[in-house]
Structure 1
Amino acid sequence: MNHPILVELIRGAIVESVHRGSIAVVDADGHTLFSVGSVDKPVYPRSAMKMIQALPLVESGAADAYGFDNVELSLACASHSSEPGHAQTADKMLGAAGLAESDLECGAHWPLIGAAAEKAKIEMARAGEEPSQLHNNCSGKHAGFLCCAKHSGMKTDDYLNTGHELQRDIVATMEDVTGEAIPGDQCGVDGCSAPTLAASLKGLAQGFAKLGTGTGLEPVRAKSAKRLMQACMAEPWYMAGTNRFCTRVMEIGKGRIFTKVGAEGVYTGAIPELGLGIALKADDGAERAAEMMLAGVLHKLLGNDTDLGEAISALTTRPINNWNGINTGEMRSVPL
């Protein structure tokens, strides 16, 4: 299937490049408000499923046992920029459970997402510091995994193995939230070595509608989902970082919009007051395309909103300037 063009890059008066993709906007009962492209085939949401992976942390009582507030819960759902506050919070989470950086199994890398990460990397290098696993952009998720395992009496080594009790719980949680079975051939390995589970965009969108409203979830899960989503919206910097798109959108949304990026051009999201979930994927995996696709969806849903409309609509175009600061064109969402 040749998916529709959803993002255009304009130079002068000519469309220079395009991005195609698929989008699903669905309510908690599975009714599709609108969709484009292929929304029924499985895709890997990658980090866009982190809130689902964090549910056992709250449901198990671990978050309460270790005194986690919105900051820690947001980081547990994060693909962060490895800024100092991110790494420090991951370390704090581990310490609360009597664990350490060496217990992580995500691997170490230099800060790598966005301009703030580049700044953090330069500052570390100047100070002669080496990156640790705390700087992995998924360290908050992994700290959450370990804290949940420790509190629940599970072993904390080899916690990423698909046979580990925690990972089996996450598969069951994903199936419950999306309403889709996840066979073994729909389980891959993510960049941070955690299992990554495939689901359809429609299933993911319905799942995030359920997470945003509690509809179709048993009470403990509904309460935990609400707590996690509200934490991310209250502390969006910890879920991404300085000038990151996820952070900007949730800052604009002021508690009304949840969104999460995933590698290879994926976004999930929810607008709880509308009872809607969002899932999308850019065909070529480009993050810039996924951002503009999300902007287009939000404009369609909230473009006329008295409080948010103007700021949301501004996201649908992005000027492109050259090194002399001369405007050469723009990137824009194709109207949905």
Structure 2
Amino acid sequence: MDASLTPARLRCALAAAAACCLVLVAGCSGRDASGSGSSRSEAATARAARPAAVSQATDLQSDYQRVIKEVLPSVVQIRAGDSLGSGVVYDDKGHIVTNAHVVGNAKNFGVTVANSEAALNARLVSSYPDQDLAVVKLDSTPDGLKPAAFGDSAKVEVGQIVLAMGSPLGLSSSVTQGIVSATGRTVTEGRSDGGTGATIGNMVQTSAAINPGNSGGALVDLDGRVIGIPTLAALDPDLGNGAAPGIGFAIPASTVKTIAGQIVDKGRVTDSGRAALGITGRTVVDSSFEPAGVAVVEVESGGAADRAGLRAGDVIVRLGDADITTITSLAEALAGDEPGQQTTVSYTRNGSRRTAKVTLGER
């Protein structure tokens, strides 16, 4: 027999095991002197923390409810023909700012405001598809129409809690919640999904759900200020180009105020703030049928490209630090620049590459 299994050794092993069990049981029951104080302290800390956590959650909920009560009356539903979208009351004269793709080609609209169940008549003041913004005006201004307060885009920070308000899928006065996921995004809208095809810079990315019908509504911070106009959701090719959950974009408040302010004051946009080369171009492909640059079809007389010496037939391949392969990539590069800014443009002419300094114009 193996010596380790002799009765004497077995009795010793059982006794040792029993002693260990006693120590373990004592420790688990809280009778062990070294553990009892720690267990009681942890329990007391947990009990103290619970009321604090509940209080914080209650405070946050109160903030949500306060902001919703304050801002939702400034968010309207807009019907343009068979399409539905949202809008934000811009002033007390009945001007409402929304997306250009919400108004489309329509000139007259039905607008449902917060304090009325019946749609009010409104007309288009002006649409600016290059920035996907438009302003409509109510024919008559109802009592109690409440303009929204717009925030400072420069103060928007990643991680801020935000609420998206609008009429997703026609469900008026709906609210979703999320955070600011990123700022300074440059996004190009598709045309096939109802967008204007605009390339828009400095967009606010948010995780708050943005669905069809939310366009033109309000993205609001917890101070009750509109920091952006929800415009589109990212598309996921793996979902058959369905909306990618948690990735939406809003036009920043600074852009909204600049564009809408000009439309309200002058009836149109006279100072876009968008940089331009002053060309008409198209995407060209190489021998492998891959995008290889933007061919200059026409040069605007006296424009930035004209002053830099570009002419029809040149192919732009780089602007500043950005490689240019398509007309979209050129638009995205320009979206990050400003009128009057100096940069360089690289292009090919008759097979040879050239570089020129250019002072950007305005679109």
TM-score range normalised by the length of the shorter chain: under 0.3
Larger Rg: 2
Q: Judging by fraction of residues, say which structure has more strand.
A: 2
What is the TM-score of this pair, normalised by structure 1?
A: 0.27
What is the TM-score of this pair, normalised by structure 2?
A: 0.26
Q: Judging by fraction of residues, say which structure has more helix.
A: 1
